[in-house]
């Protein structure tokens, strides 16, 4: 009996010990995963840093009238908060609409309009949806206005840099030159009567990464409005659009992420009060790698083939999220001096730039204090 008791006791102790080590192991793994995510040193865009200040579970709980939802789409986190009749269905429909935009404009989805245009490069014109045609038309206008600083035919260059790779590296000069020779927004053939797009040279490709999330956000907002939603905020990976005010009547408060902040909650510059408007930030911290102490990131200069080095982030305020998204990328490439001059030629649009040395410059009309 004694022996029996001893064995059971030993077994129980062993079980307890295993249980304890199991818990410890899970805790260590969770901490490690959290640390990797916080460091932002891997592939995808982490959207929480760009959520508006004051957005938290507790606030959403307090405001029981509000529904919210978060989804991973267009390679980023999209969150929607809405108040109004049928708000759950409205959010559902908005997410579906945004997914549809992704299925048209992603170049990683095989049958998307953009994939078909790219596969057809050097061949026949490709018929596309009205939406894709509109976005490409707007992007080409922006290319003209920025003299090619913003250029959606950047596809081949994005491919050689391949920031999505597990172990991205600096491409060699030859590869960059070859990719650069395939860039040229002026070559894009748009036929509005037949709604077709043609890239004349095989190997050319378009990449709507600098504008499609903004368009998707506007589509999401359009659908919410159709459902009669009166208060909403959509954040598509840092591309924010709002409908009305918050449900308490106050404007939405949007913090701008500090591009070199330790914490994802660190902000820089003013807190923006937004009513019925859009704001987008493009940053060198979204997709990047560091090599030999230098940062290489996903916003590229079509003229040199290299990442832009004159800014850390650009925030643009506009009525339409498509413009906020497109222009934040465009101004990033233009750089602080030209970028601010350019923005000041546009009505109702303003920008804030965090330059390469960390100082902040504002265009006219950007709210500096709040
Ligand atoms: P994010 O996608 O991180 O929100 P942006 O809106 O600034 O950031 O878009 C960056 C994306 O724009 C890149 O991932 C690429 O798809 C595209 N892009 C990069 N350089 C250019 C450029 N010079 N002109 C147009 N699009 C660009
Ligand atoms: Mg953009």
Q: How far is the CA of 211 from the centre of ligand 2 (A)?
A: 5
Quick one: pLDDT band at residue 10, thresholds 50, 70, 90? low
Alpha-carbon distance of 246 to 62, in angstroms, equals 13
The Å distance, Cα 1 to ligand 2 centre, comes to 75
Average pLDDT over residues 329-341: 98
**Cα(5) to centroid of ligand 2, in Å?**
69
Could you tell me the end-to-end alpha-carbon distance of the chain, in angstroms, rounded to an integer?
Answer: 77
Instruction: Give burial (CB, 10 Å; 0-12/13-18/19+) of 31.
Output: exposed
Measured in Å, residue 238 CA sits from the centre of ligand 2 at 9
298 CA to centre of ligand 1 in angstroms: 6
Task: Tell me if residue 68 falls in helix, strand or coil.
Answer: strand
- Residue 149 CA, closest ligand 1 atom number: 23
Is residue 335 within 8 Å of residue 329, measured between CB atoms?
no
List residues bridging with 190 in a β-sheet.
Answer: 197
Residue nearest to ligand 1 atom 8, measured at CA: 282
**Going by CA atoms, what residue is nearest to atom 19 of ligand 1?**
299
Judged by its nearest atom, the ligand closest to the C-alpha of residue 327 is 2
Q: What is the enclosing helix (H) or strand (E) of 175?
A: helix 173-180
Question: In terms of pLDDT, which residue wins out, 182 or 50?
Answer: 182
For residue range 47-82, what is the model confidence (pLDDT) as tens digits?
A: 333 334 333 333 444 345 899 999 999 999 999 999
Residue found by looking up tokens 């807190």 in the block = 271
List helix spans (H) across 231-315: none
The answer to whether the beta carbons of residues 45 and 287 sit under 8 Å apart is yes
Please enumerate in sequence order all residues whose Cβ is within 8 A of that of 214, keeping only pairs 6 or more positions apart, or say none.
236, 239, 278, 280, 320, 321, 322, 323, 324, 325, 326
3-state secondary structure of 243: strand
What pTM did the predictor assign? 0.84
CA–centroid distance, residue 30 to ligand 2 (Å): 32
Q: How far is Cα 211 from Cα 131, in angstroms, rounded to an integer?
A: 12
Q: Which residues line ligand 1 (CB under 6 A)?
A: 45, 150-152, 154, 158, 207, 209-210, 213, 237-238, 282, 286, 298-300, 302, 325, 328-329, 333
Per the model's pLDDT, the better-predicted residue between 62 and 19 turns out to be 19
Where does the pLDDT of residue 34 fall: very low under 50, low under 70, confident under 90, or very high at 90 and above? low
pLDDT value of position 35? 55
Token reading at 27: 């805790």
| β-strands 126-127, 196-198 pairing | antiparallel
Atom 10, ligand 1: which residue's CA is nearest? 210
pLDDT higher than threshold 50 for residue 11:
yes
Residues above pLDDT 70, as percent of the chain? 85
pLDDT confidence of residue 4: 42
Hey, which residues does 315 pair with through a beta bridge? 281, 352
Closest ligand to C-alpha of residue 74 is 1
DSSP 8-class letter at 240: E
Q: Name the residue at shortest CA distance from atom 12 of ligand 1.
A: 210
Q: At what angle do helices 212-226 and 130-145 cross, to 10 degrees?
A: 130
Which of 136, 139, 278, 298 has the most ligand 1 atoms within 8 A of CB, as the residue to mutate?
298
Instruction: Please identify every residue whose CB atom is under 5 Å from ligand 2, which is an ion.
Output: 210, 282, 325, 328-329
Nearest to 281 by CA among 52, 42, 39, 38: 52
Are 68 and 77 spatial neighbours (Cβ–Cβ below 8 Å)? Answer: no
Mutate which of 76, 144, 209, 331 to test ligand 1's pocket (most atoms within 8 Å of Cβ)? Answer: 209
* Residue 253 to residue 272: CA distance in whole angstroms: 6
Whether the pLDDT of residue 262 is over 50: the answer is yes
Q: How much of the chain exceeds pLDDT 90, in percent? A: 79
Q: Which helix (H) or strand (E) holds 196?
A: strand 196-198
Atom 3 of ligand 1: nearest residue by CA position: 286
The tokens for 236 are: 């598509």
Residue 236 and residue 240: Cα distance in Å, rounded? 6
Q: Whose CA is nearest to atom 16 of ligand 1?
A: 209
DSSP strand pairing (294-297 vs 288-291): antiparallel
Measured distance CA(122)–CA(59) in Å, rounded:
53
- 172 SS3 class: coil
> For residue 182, what pLDDT band results from cuts at 50, 70 and 90?
very high
User: Is the predicted pLDDT of residue 5 greater than 50, yes or no?
Assistant: no
Bridge pairing between strands 189-191 and 252-254: unpaired
Residue 298: is its pLDDT beyond 60?
yes
Domains of the chain: 48-362 (3.10.520.10)
Mean predicted lDDT score pLDDT of the chain: 88
Please write the tens of the pLDDT for every residue from 243-256: 999 999 999 999 99
Which residues have C-beta within 8 Å of that of residue 271, sequence separation ≥ 6? 53, 253, 254, 255, 256, 370
């Amino acid at each position: 009996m004694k022996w029996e008791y001893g064995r059971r006791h030993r077994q129980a102790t062993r079980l307890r010990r295993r249980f304890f080590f199991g818990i410890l192991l899970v805790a260590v793994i969770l901490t490690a995963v959290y640390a990797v995510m916080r460091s932002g040193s891997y592939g995808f865009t982490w959207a929480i840093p760009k959520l508006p200040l004051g957005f938290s579970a507790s606030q959403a709980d307090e405001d029981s009238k509000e529904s919210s939802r978060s989804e991973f789409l267009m390679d980023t986190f999209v969150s929607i908060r809405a108040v109004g009749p049928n708000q759950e269905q409205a959010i559902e429909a908005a997410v579906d609409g945004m997914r549809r935009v992704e299925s048209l404009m992603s170049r990683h989805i095989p049958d998307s309009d953009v994939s078909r245009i790219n596969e057809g490069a050097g061949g026949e014109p490709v018929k596309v949806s009205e939406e894709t045609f509109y976005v490409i038309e707007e992007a080409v206008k922006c290319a003209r206005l920025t003299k090619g600083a913003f250029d959606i035919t950047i596809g081949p260059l994005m491919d050689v840099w391949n920031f999505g790779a597990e172990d991205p590296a600096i491409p060699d000069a030859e590869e960059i030159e070859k990719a650069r020779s395939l860039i040229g927004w002026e070559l894009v053939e748009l036929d509005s009567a037949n709604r077709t797009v043609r890239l004349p040279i095989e190997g050319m490709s378009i990449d709507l990464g600098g504008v499609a999330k903004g368009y998707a956000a506007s589509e999401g907002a359009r659908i919410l409005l159709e459902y009669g939603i009166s208060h909403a905020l959509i954040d598509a990976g840092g591309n924010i659009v709002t409908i009305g005010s918050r449900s308490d009547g106050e404007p939405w408060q949007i913090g701008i992420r500090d591009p070199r902040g330790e914490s994802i909650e660190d902000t820089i510059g003013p807190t923006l009060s937004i009513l019925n408007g859009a704001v987008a930030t493009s940053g060198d911290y979204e997709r990047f790698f560091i090599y030999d102490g230098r940062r290489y990131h996903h916003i590229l200069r079509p003229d040199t083939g290299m990442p832009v080095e004159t800014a850390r982030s650009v925030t643009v305020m506009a009525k339409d999220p498509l413009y906020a998204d497109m222009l934040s990328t465009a101004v990033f490439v233009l750089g602080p001096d030209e970028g601010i001059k350019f923005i000041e030629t546009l009505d109702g649009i303003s920008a804030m730039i965090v330059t390469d040395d960390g100082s902040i410059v504002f265009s006219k009309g950007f709210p500096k204090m709040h």
